[in-house]
Amino acid sequence: AGALVNVYTDGTVLITHGGTEMGQGLHTKILQIAAKALNVPMSAVTFRETGTDTVPNASPTAASASSDIYGMAILNACEQIMGRLKPYLEKAKGDFKSSLP
């Protein structure tokens, strides 16, 4: 599974993953995971539809398994970003938006 997470200087986040929403609530779950992992409101997180130009070689969408597969991919990406932003977040006392360089 693959995921792409973009954090913009205005504090908003754009996520892309390889899953397909088929009524199983995948996009909502992914938005919740990203918002919690990045400590931002859900209103700051949007998603772009799946495309091979951003997430090639995606795993098949299969019921609730997609939530596990792509949820972990998003969580992994967000954790990497938070690790890289840690020095800035400490300086800004945890305020995500003001911590962005």
* Total number of domains constituting the chain: 1
Q: Is pLDDT larger for residue 7 or for residue 90?
A: 7
How far apart CA 44 and CA 68 sit, in angstroms, is 22
pTM tops 0.95, yes or no: no
pLDDT of residue 56 exceeding 70, the answer is no
26, 20 Cβ separation under 8 angstroms: yes
Q: 1: helix, coil or strand?
A: coil
Residue type, 20: T
* Crossing angle for the helix pair 65-91 and 26-38, to the nearest 10 degrees: 20
CATH of the domain at 13: 3.30.365.10
Report residue 101's pLDDT band, with 50, 70 and 90 as the boundaries: low
Task: List the domain range (segments joined by +) for residue 56.
Answer: 3-99
| Number of other CB atoms surrounding residue 71 within 10 Å | 20
Longest CA–CA span in the chain (Å) reads 42
Query: Which tokens in the block code for residue 77?
Result: 């990406």
Per-residue model confidence as pLDDT tens digits over 9-29: 888 999 988 777 778 888 899
